[in-house]
């Protein structure tokens, strides 16, 4: 790699908001076999919204929101913010003993009963039967919704269906990478059904779902152990170890400081399509060197 070509390459990137932090990344980027995208905040906008509320028989939608809101008021999860936005105007009761359940949801005591909000795993742990709402939950997941179950005292009060719109360029990004012979994977803590539907919409071939935050880097390692060179694109605090583990880590510029520090390349415009630009630039730079 001639220093001049690298300077021109990194300079051109910077002009387009693609910041290569080191010359090594420019060279490594030409060799990637697979690129893993974090789902929430990377392929999607990361601004989930409640799109449907389903109360169990004997309950109302407002009661579901009131009970769920009491828990989510204590959480910083993006799904919690979506629930709170929808619960705006409803008076929320106090919650004590709040606890996050990593990769599953959250719980607390509300009005003398244990309330658990979260995914199917959280319900299974509490032995909450979905009953009549089981089919509804499956339908919602099949439509690509993230389903937040709300249970009190071991009984399901209802479901909150949440959607996070794909970034406008997500589909084109996946298509362009695949056209260049790079495989594309999507990594998420969300459930398999929801993840598969979104992957299908975006043309993503490999789905890594139900991954706990602490296991993201492990998924990168697994692919590397198969002899693949792995790029990772993410935005969140819990993406940082995976960004470090990857052969090339790309951070979304609007993401967390930790993600940005852990990455080799920063996409200042927060546009996943800039990964395609980064690869094109690295390939062009490397050609000039030989």
Q: What residues are annotated to the active site?
A: 38
Phi, psi for 212 (deg, rounded to 5):
-70, 150
Q: Of the candidates 40, 51, 45, which has an alpha carbon nearest to the alpha carbon of residue 85?
A: 51
Q: Does 255 bind ligand ADP (CB under 6 A)?
A: no
The span from the CA of 221 to the CA of 233, in Å, is: 15
Q: Which residue is nearest to ligand ADP (CB)?
A: 189
The span from the CA of 61 to the CA of 68, in Å, is: 11
Alpha carbons within 13 angstroms on the beta-carbon side of residue 126 total 26
The span from the CA of 275 to the CA of 281, in Å, is: 10
Q: Does 44 bind ligand ADP (CB under 6 A)?
A: no
Alpha carbons within 13 angstroms on the beta-carbon side of residue 120 total 18
Q: Does 105 bind ligand ADP (CB under 6 A)?
A: yes
Strand order in the sheet with 230-234: 18-20, 265-267, 248-252, 230-234, 34-38, 183-187, 206-208
Q: Does 40 bind Mg ion (CB under 5 A)?
A: yes
Size of interface with Mg ion, in residues (CB under 5 A): 5
The span from the CA of 49 to the CA of 45, in Å, is: 11
Beta carbon of residue 43, minimum distance to Mg ion (angstroms, whole number): 9
- 3 state SS of 164: coil
Phi, psi for 223 (deg, rounded to 5):
-65, -40
x/- binding map, residues 194-233, to Mg ion, per CB under 5 A?
----------------------------------------
**The one among 27, 28, 38, 126 contacting Mg ion by CB under 5 A:** 38
Q: Does 18 bind ligand ADP (CB under 6 A)?
A: no
Contact 235, 254 (CB under 8 A): yes
Q: Does 56 bind ligand ADP (CB under 6 A)?
A: no
Stretch of residues binding Mg ion (CB under 5 A), selected from 58-66, 105-113, 234-242, 270-278 = 234-242
**The one among 126, 190, 215, 274 contacting ligand ADP by CB under 6 A:** 190
Which of ligand ADP, Mg ion, none does residue 41 bind (CB under 5 to 8 Å by kind)? Mg ion
Stretch of residues binding ligand ADP (CB under 6 A), selected from 27-35, 77-85, 199-207, 240-248 = 77-85
Stretch of residues binding Mg ion (CB under 5 A), selected from 16-24, 35-43, 109-117, 127-135 = 35-43
Beta carbon of residue 17, minimum distance to ligand ADP (angstroms, whole number): 25
The span from the CA of 236 to the CA of 251, in Å, is: 9
Q: Does 241 bind Mg ion (CB under 5 A)?
A: no
Using CB under 5 A as the criterion, which residues of the chain lie in contact with Mg ion when the complex forms? Answer: 38, 40-41, 235-236
Using CB under 6 A as the criterion, which residues of the chain lie in contact with ligand ADP when the complex forms? Answer: 39-40, 72, 75, 77, 79-80, 103-106, 117-119, 146, 148, 188-190, 213
């Amino acid at each position: 790699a001639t220093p001049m070509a690298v300077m021109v390459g990194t300079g051109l990137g910077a002009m387009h908001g693609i910041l290569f932090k080191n010359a090594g990344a420019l060279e490594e980027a030409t060799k990637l076999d697979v690129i893993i995208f974090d789902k929430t905040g990377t392929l999607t906008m990361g601004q989930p919204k409640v799109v449907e509320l389903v109360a169990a028989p004997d309950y109302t939608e407002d009661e579901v929101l009131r009970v769920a809101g009491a828990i989510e008021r204590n959480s910083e999860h993006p799904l919690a913010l979506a629930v709170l936005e929808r619960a705006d105007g409803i008076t929320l009761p106090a919650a004590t003993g709040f606890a996050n359940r990593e990769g599953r949801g959250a719980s607390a005591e509300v009005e003398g009963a244990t309330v658990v909000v979260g995914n199917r795993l959280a319900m299974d742990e509490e032995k909450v039967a979905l009953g009549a709402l089981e089919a509804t939950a499956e339908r919602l997941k099949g439509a690509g919704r993230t389903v937040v179950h709300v249970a009190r005292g071991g009984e399901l009060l209802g479901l909150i269906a949440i959607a996070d719109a794909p970034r406008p360029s997500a589909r084109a990004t996946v298509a362009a990478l695949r056209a260049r012979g790079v495989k594309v994977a999507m990594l998420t803590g969300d459930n398999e059904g929801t993840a598969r539907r979104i992957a299908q919409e975006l043309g993503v071939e490999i789905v890594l779902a139900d991954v706990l935050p602490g296991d993201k880097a492990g998924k990168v390692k697994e692919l590397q152990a198969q002899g693949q060179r792995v790029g990772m694109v993410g935005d969140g605090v819990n993406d940082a170890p995976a960004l470090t583990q990857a052969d090339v880590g790309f951070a979304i510029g609007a993401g967390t400081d930790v993600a940005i520090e852990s990455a080799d390349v920063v996409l200042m415009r927060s546009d996943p399509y800039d990964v395609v630009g980064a690869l094109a630039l690295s390939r062009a730079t490397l050609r000039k060197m030989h």
